[in-house]
Amino acid sequence: MRTQVGIIGAGPSGLLLARLLHLQGIESIIIERQSKEYVLGRIRAGVLEQGMANLLRQAQVGARMDREGLVHGGVNLAFNGRLTRINMAHHTDGQSVIIYGQTELTRDLVEAHLAAGGIIHYEAPAIAVAEYHTTQPRIIYEQNGQRQEIVCDFVAGCDGYHGVARQSVPADKITLFEKIYPFGWLGILSDVPPVNDELIYANHERGFALCSMRSHTRSRYYVQCSLDDDVANWTDNAFWDELRRRLPEEVAEQVTTGPRLEMSIAPLRSFVAEPMRFGNLFLAGDAAHIVPPTGAKGLNLAASDIYYLSRALIAHYQEKRADLLDRYSDAALRRVWKAIRFSWWFTSLMHRFGDDLLNQRLQVAELDYLTGSVAGQTVFAENYVGLPYEQFE
């Protein structure tokens, strides 16, 4: 098969790239190792920055998000028995985030892509990207037990941390940065109303907790746990009891409990691969970087990568320009590292690191300063709603 842009991965980043290219008359083919049912059923976070929400609207897939998404102009920090709201809209000239599940977002993108005649090959695992330093890179993959190839002008590796796009690059040509955090998040998804209209991040001597939601009737809650913990160790009641212990009393009393729809443990890491371009192979999303979920930046960083990459490819095809392709990696990485910094800082501020009492006192002092300072709240708000995309034209 031959196409202009070969895309590995049918997650939000690959689908969004295909959609933006299609609207400009640029052809693409997506291959995905998992089944369509698996992809559409994956449960992921859904805090969308202002920039990502705007990009989805530009891609003409934002109607349901605008109709059903929950607009949050603030976020709550709980510590030392108190709850303080940071008014993000006030500190960022009216900017906000939208709570809209990644599962729903993916469904919107898939439906739009297929309705426009787009091609997605599911259950087609990529094996390698070959000849990416030439003008005709090839994606080698399998489907129905047969070896297949896509020849294209460019390859977009949107295939996640374990994907073959990054692994196709020799180790001496790429620099990896990684930090593994000494804890995980135990999360429960339940059809119960959220305890608050906006997210609550809690710092407690027993460990971090997060009160989040997917809708007005479906909630997602997390508690910090050890890396060697197991879901089998937790009953629903044990989880709800532990969550309430870590929240201020007036919040804990309002928690509505219910049976789990899903419970899982997620490890936390920071990871960056540099550069994000290798000849005509471009990395985007989790293939190039991972952030701890504390700052809700993973999905949003994937979107900002696609912002830069889509504009670079459109400039190439419509104006025969190569300069934006040459600038893609540097532009994307500048924003990546700022989000990595914010996620590392927020993770370090909110979680318990062993029995270090000095660190716990310093966390409370910093939170007390942050919530009492206009400058501190502004810095937090600007980072949480998402730093602006740089001009890329």
Distance CA 275, CA 272 (A): 9
Tell me, yes or no, whether 281 lies in a domain: yes
| Inter-residue long-range contacts of 193-197, CB under 8 Å, 24+ positions, other chains counted | 193/217, 193/219, 193/256, 194/219, 195/219, 195/247, 195/251, 195/254, 195/255, 195/256, 196/76, 196/251, 196/254, 197/72
Task: Return the pLDDT at 43.
Answer: 72
- Residue 169's domain comprises 5-71+97-177+269-351
Q: Write the pLDDT tens digit of every residue in 100-119.
A: 989 999 999 999 999 999 99
Distance CA 62, CA 303 (A): 14
Q: Write the pLDDT tens digit of every residue in 195-237.
A: 999 999 999 999 999 999 988 999 999 999 999 999 999 999 9
Q: Are 390 and 305 a contacting pair, CB within 8 Å? A: no
- Annotated active-site residue in 12, 137, 292, 293: 293
Q: Are 102 and 46 a contacting pair, CB within 8 Å? A: yes
Task: Return the pLDDT at 258.
Answer: 98
- Annotated active-site residue in 297, 308, 328, 389: 297
Average pLDDT over residues 18-36: 97
The pLDDT confidence band at residue 42, using thresholds 50, 70 and 90, is: confident
Q: Write the pLDDT tens digit of every residue in 241-259.
A: 999 999 999 999 999 999 9
Tell me, yes or no, whether 158 lies in a domain: yes
Count up the domains in the chain and report the number.
1
User: What average pLDDT is seen over the chain?
Assistant: 96
Tell me, yes or no, whether 227 lies in a domain: no
Tell me, yes or no, whether 285 lies in a domain: yes
Tell me, yes or no, whether 315 lies in a domain: yes
The pLDDT confidence band at residue 187, using thresholds 50, 70 and 90, is: very high
Q: Write the pLDDT tens digit of every residue in 274-305.
A: 999 999 999 999 999 999 999 999 999 999 99
Catalytic (active site) residue 137: no
Tell me, yes or no, whether 356 lies in a domain: no
Which CATH number belongs to the domain containing residue 9 in this structure? 3.50.50.60
Q: Are 389 and 335 a contacting pair, CB within 8 Å? A: yes
Angle at 390 between CA 168 and CA 14, to 5 degrees: 35
Residue 37 has pLDDT above 90, yes or no: yes
Catalytic (active site) residue 369: no
Task: Return the pLDDT at 44.
Answer: 74
pLDDT > 70 in the chain, percent: 100
Q: Write the pLDDT tens digit of every residue in 121-178.
A: 999 999 999 999 999 999 999 999 999 999 999 999 999 999 999 999 999 999 999 9
- Annotated active-site residue in 12, 22, 72, 292: 72
Residue 4 phi/psi, 5° resolution?
Answer: -80, -50
Q: Which of 30-44, 167-181, 258-272, 302-316 bottoms out in mean pLDDT, i.e. has the lowest? A: 30-44
Catalytic (active site) residue 72: yes
> Under DSSP, is residue 385 helix (H, G, I), strand (E, B) or coil?
helix
Q: Write the pLDDT tens digit of every residue in 267-278.
A: 999 999 999 999
Tell me, yes or no, whether 79 lies in a domain: no
Catalytic (active site) residue 384: yes
Q: Which of 62, 63, 59, 55 is nearest to 21 (CA)?
A: 59
Average pLDDT over residues 37-41: 91
- Annotated active-site residue in 132, 181, 222, 384: 384
Task: Return the pLDDT at 46.
Answer: 85
Tell me, yes or no, whether 171 lies in a domain: yes
Task: Return the pLDDT at 190.
Answer: 96
- Annotated active-site residue in 141, 181, 201, 308: 201
Catalytic (active site) residue 182: no
pLDDT > 90 in the chain, percent: 96
